[in-house]
Amino acid sequence: MNPMKTVAAAALASTFATVVFAANPMVGGAPMLETKNIVENAVNSADHTTLVAAVKAAGLVDTLQSDGPFTVFAPVNMAFAALPDGTVETLLKPENKGMLTKVLTAHVVAGDWSAADIAAKARAASDGFYHFKAVSGDALSAQVKGDNLYIYDENGNAGKVTIADVDQSNGVIHVVDAVLVPK
């Protein structure tokens, strides 16, 4: 065996492994592995403990572990904390499961949409907004401002995409800094 080919192959394999690992950003202090599904990755993010608790309370774990693909705009804990006092506690009560499910599914879109794809649609739109539907049936809009992508809910509230293109085995997560609230 040629030692130069062995060294070159090892260097190439090492570089490829680094590139593959580097493809997904860390979220909430944890690596997000493309081989894991949305729920398997989200439970490891320290920034998404409220979202994970809400997904469990709404009974959406199995759905978000299914094949998808799904695009999830995942609000961080601080986004939930910014809601009016008592909102999260109220939503997590068993009698409000339907309302909680609607709020959470207003953050999910069918398909695997990269931030670049969403931004391109927004830039191409005559009004500067890409209008689309969440799986809840609620309207969402995307707009590009400078280098930032914003997702708007039906009430006109915007969540800035702070970490984009976190690939999952069943879709993609875009971390947002606000909760998208349906009407």
CATH number of the domain that residue 63 is part of: 2.30.180.10
In a domain, residue 48? The reply is: yes
Question: What's the pLDDT at 148?
Answer: 96
Question: What's the pLDDT at 4?
Answer: 46
Question: What's the pLDDT at 25?
Answer: 78
Residue 59's domain comprises: 3-176
Question: What's the pLDDT at 5?
Answer: 47
Burial pattern 59-98, b for ≥16 Cβ within 10 A else e, equals: ebbebbeeebbbbbbbbbbebbeebeeeebeebbeeebee
Residue that the structure tokens 């995307």 belong to: 142
Higher pLDDT, 31 or 159: 159
CB atoms near residue 24 (< 10 Å): 19
In a domain, residue 20? The reply is: yes
In a domain, residue 181? The reply is: no
Question: 16 CB contacts (<8 Å, ≥6 apart)?
Answer: none
The pLDDT tens digits of the residues spanning 47-92 come to 889 998 999 999 898 898 898 899 999 999 999 999 999 999 999 9
Tokens of 2: 């040629």
In a domain, residue 19? The reply is: yes
Report the predicted TM-score, pTM, of the whole model to 2 decimal places: 0.84
Question: What's the pLDDT at 138?
Answer: 96
Question: What's the pLDDT at 15?
Answer: 38
Question: What's the pLDDT at 71?
Answer: 96
The pLDDT tens digits of the residues spanning 30-46 come to 777 788 878 888 888 88
The pLDDT tens digits of the residues spanning 105-126 come to 999 999 999 999 999 999 999 9
Q: What is the DSSP letter of 27?
A: B
In a domain, residue 120? The reply is: yes
User: In the chain, how many domains are there?
Assistant: 1
In a domain, residue 182? The reply is: no
Higher pLDDT, 5 or 142: 142
Extract long-range pairs of 146-151: CB within 8 Å, 24+ residues apart. Answer: 149/115, 149/118, 149/119, 149/122, 149/174, 151/73, 151/176, 151/180
In a domain, residue 118? The reply is: yes
Question: What's the pLDDT at 81?
Answer: 94
The pLDDT tens digits of the residues spanning 161-172 come to 999 999 998 999
| Mean pLDDT, range 138-152, rounded to an integer | 96
Question: What's the pLDDT at 7?
Answer: 43
Sheet with strand 158-168: strands edge to edge: 108-110, 70-75, 171-176, 158-168, 148-152, 139-145, 129-133
CB atoms near residue 49 (< 10 Å): 15
In a domain, residue 183? The reply is: no
The pLDDT tens digits of the residues spanning 4-34 come to 444 444 443 443 343 344 478 767 777 777 8
